[in-house]
Amino acid sequence: MDKEKNGQKVEPKKERVSVLEKIRRRTGLLVGIVGLALMIFILESLLGSGASLFGNDEMSAAGRINGKKIDRNEFIMKYENQLNNYRARNGGKEADEATRTQAIEGLWQQYIVELVMMPQFREIGIEVGEDELYESVVANPNSVIIQNLSDPNTGKLNEQFALPDGTLDKAKWKQAVQTVTGDNEMAVKNMEDQVKSNRYFEKFRALINKGLYVTKAEAEKNFKSRITNLTASYVVKRFESIPDSTVKLSDSDIEKYYTENAYKFKNPETTRSIEYVSFNVNPSPEDMAAIEKDAVRTANDFKALPISEDSAFVAQETENGNVVMENLTKKTMIVRDSSIYTAAPGTVFGPYNEGAYYKIYKLEAVNSVADSTRVRHILISTVDPQTQQPIRAKDRAKAMADSVVTLIKEKKATFDTLVKLMSEDKGSIEKGGDYGWWDENANWVPTFKNFGLTKPKGELGIVESVFGYHVMEVLDVSKTRHPSYKVAQIFKPIAPSDETNQRIFAEANQFAGEHNTAESFDKGVDEKKLVKRLAEGIKDGDYQINGLGSAKEVSKWAYTANKGDINIFTLADKHVVVKLNSIKNKGVLPLEEVKEAVTALAINEKKAAMFKEEFEKAGSGDIQSIAAKMNIPVEKAPDLMYENRVVPGLGDDPIFMGTAFGTKKGAKSKPTAGTTGVFIVSVESENQRPETMDLARERRQIEQELSARVDYDAFNALKNLADIEFHKSRID
C-alpha cells in the first residue's frame, strides 16, 4: 500500500534483482568450479570497469547536482578504487595525468547519468526489465559483454571464453556468471550495470527518434536554401562612423540594457583568469662555463677509453644513465663533421652545443649492411609485453631459445611448427614469424634490426632484446649494400645550477613579498618593467594553462583564492608570481564585471536608433537615392549562400543574411541593425542550381542529421536544465 510523506505520495521501493540472482534461480545448482585462471581474468580485467557514457561543508563536496551534494570523500574513494584497478591491470604502474583526468570525468558523468538522466527515464516510463537484462547479459550477451571479455589491444575474445572459431562460448560464460563470488561477483555486476545503462539510453534515443518529424514545408525550405544564391546591393551606416563620446548614456541606460539583455552576459561555466610575471630559470654565464668544461673533460676521457669500455662510460656520463648507440647512414647521420665517414673507429667528435645539451659522439664501428632484408623469428619472452612485468627468468628463456635452435638444426622440428608452438610474438605467429621485407628505417629493436641487416641469407641465430630472446633466421637479403656507422652518444644537459635556481627564486619571492596586493602587484610590474601576461578561461581542474604549460598547483589555487590575491609558484623552468585577476561564476555575470561590454552594446543600440531615423528621413526611394542622400556608398554582395554568414564588406553578420534571404527579389528591406551598423539590403537577383527536388530524400536527410545529434543534444539539454556544479580541483 502506498504511503504519504509530507503530503506527497511515496511509491514503495522496488528491490533490484541482479542477473546473478536470476540465473541462480533459473538453474538451481551450480554447474561447477571455474578454473583459477578464469577467476583471475574476470577480476583483473573487469573489476572496476564502469559505464562510460559520456574543510567546511562546502569544501567537503565534490560538487552538486540539482541541489544534491556529492560527497568528496565518497567520490575520492571511487576514484581511488579505479586507480587501484588500473594498477592491478598494469603491473603496479601508476596512471598518468591524462588517465587520472579521464577517470575523474568518467565518474562525474556517472553521477550525472544517475541524478539527471535516470529521473527523466523513470518520468517518461522507460524501464529495463529483468528478462531482457538476463537475455542481454547471459543468454545472448550483447556487444558490451563481448567487449569486456576481449583483449583491448587485439580485439580478440579471451581464450577462456572463446570457441575454436573465436566467437563466445555461451556455456563457459554462463558457468562463469553462475560461480563467481565476492569481488568477482562485483565485477560481473559491473558489466550488468553497463548493459542496463546502455539499454536505458538506447530506449531513450529510440523514443526521441520516433518523435522526429520533418514537415513538407521544412523540406522544401531546406532544399531551396541549398540550391539558391543571391546577388544583393546594400547601404550601411557603420557604428564606427561616429565616436562613442557623442552618444550620451546614463547609468540608468546601462542598467536597463543589462537587465533587458541579461542572456548575453550569461557565463556557461565557472572560470578564473590570472595575471602573472615569470622569472625564468636559465643557466648563468658561470653555469655555461662549468657545463662546457665538464663536456670537454668527458670528451677527452672518452677519447682515451677503449671501445670495449664505452657502454659503461656512456651510462656513467649521460643523462639518466641512458646508453644510446645508433647505427646511422649518410642520410640519417647526426654528427655535423663529415670527416666521420673516413675516420677510424674510436674517433670522438665534439662536444657540440646543441641547444638543450652538449653532445659528444664516438664512432664505434663501420659495417656493411644490406639495403633490405627479410627474416622470421620465434620470440621467447622474459617480460609481459603489456605490463613489462617479468614472466620468465633470463637463463630459462635463453635455454629454451637454445633448444629451439638445436631442434631446427638437427631437423627434429621445422621453424614453421615451432613458431606456432613456442613463439610469444602474437603479431607474427599467423605469418610464420615473418614480417616481410624491411630496411634500416623499420621500427625494430637495435639487436633485431642489426642481425637482419648484417647476417647472410640462411643464417640462424639468437639475439637478446628488451622483450626476451629471438630465434632468428635470415630468409633473404638484397643484393645491394651500404655502409652503416655505429655511433655512441653522450648527452650533457645544459641546465641552471642549484645556486642559479635559488638566486632567481629569491628574486621572485622578494617581488611577491613586496607586492602582495593587486594594486602593488600592478605598480611593481610597471616599476620593474616586467612583462605581465594574462591567462583567461581557466576551468576548475584545468591543469594546462596557456603560457605556463602544466601548472596544476596554480589552477587549484585559483579556485580557493580571492580576487586580487597574490602567490608564487615554482614550475618546470620558471618561478611565477600570480595574481587572481577575476572570478567568473556560472550564470549571469554581475554588471560590474561586464560593464565595459554592456556600455559598448548600449551605445551601439542608441546609435542604431539614430541611424534608423536618418534612413527614414532619406525617404522610400531606391537604394541608390537613399545612399546619395545619406552620403554613403552602395556596396555589392554577390553569390550569397544561406549557409555562409560572411558578407563581403561586413564580415560575419547572420542578421544581414537572414534579412537578405527574407527579402523578395527586386525589393529592399527596412533599416535593420546588424553586427557592424544599420543597413538596407536590396535583392537584385536570385539564382538556383538546376536540381530536381526529391522531398522524400530531403526529409530523410534532415531526419538523419537530427537523429545523429539526438544523444549529444538531448544529454546536453538535460545537463543545461539541471543545476550542476563540479569542483574537479578538490579531487586530484
CA distance 507 to 496: 15
pLDDT of 75: 92
Mean per-residue pLDDT, 615-636? 93
SS3 622: coil
Q: Cα dist. 389→84, 92, 156 in Å?
A: 17, 9, 22
pLDDT band at 384 (very low <50, low <70, confident <90, very high): confident
Band of residue 40 on the pLDDT scale cut at 50, 70, 90:
very low
Q: Band of the pLDDT at 714, cuts 50, 70, 90?
A: confident
From 727, 599, 589, select the one nearest 267 (Cα to Cα). Answer: 589
Report whether CATH 1.20.1260 matches the domain 223-263+595-688. Answer: no
Over range 648-672, report the average pLDDT.
93
* Nearest alpha carbon to residue 188 among 337, 67, 20: 20
Say which CATH architecture domain 372-479 belongs to.
Roll (3.10)
pLDDT band per the 50, 70, 90 thresholds, residue 7? very low
CA distance 48 to 148: 11
> Mind listing the pLDDT tens digit for each residue in 27-37?
433 333 333 33
Q: Is the pTM of this model over 0.85?
A: no
Inform me whether the pLDDT recorded for 55 exceeds 50.
no
CA distances from 202 to 54, 110, 206, 636, 716 (A): 14, 16, 6, 51, 16
Torsion from C-alpha of 710, 714, 715, 716, nearest 10 degrees: 110
Model pLDDT for residues 149-184, shown as the tens digit of each residue = 887 666 778 778 888 888 888 888 888 888 877 667
Three-class DSSP category at 514: helix
- The answer to whether 174 touches 138, Cβ cutoff 8 Å, is yes
Q: Residue 211: its pLDDT value, please?
A: 86
Residue 380 has pLDDT above 50, yes or no: yes
Instruction: Please say if the pLDDT value at position 21 is more than 70.
Output: no
Percentage of the chain with pLDDT > 90? Answer: 58
Contact 656, 674 (CB under 8 A): yes
What is the C-alpha separation between 626 and 681, in angstroms, rounded? 11
pLDDT digits (tens, 9 = 90+) for 179-207: 877 667 777 888 888 899 889 988 998 88
pLDDT given for residue 709 in this prediction: 85
All three cell numbers of 221: 525550405
Average pLDDT, the chain: 87
Give the pLDDT score at 588: 93
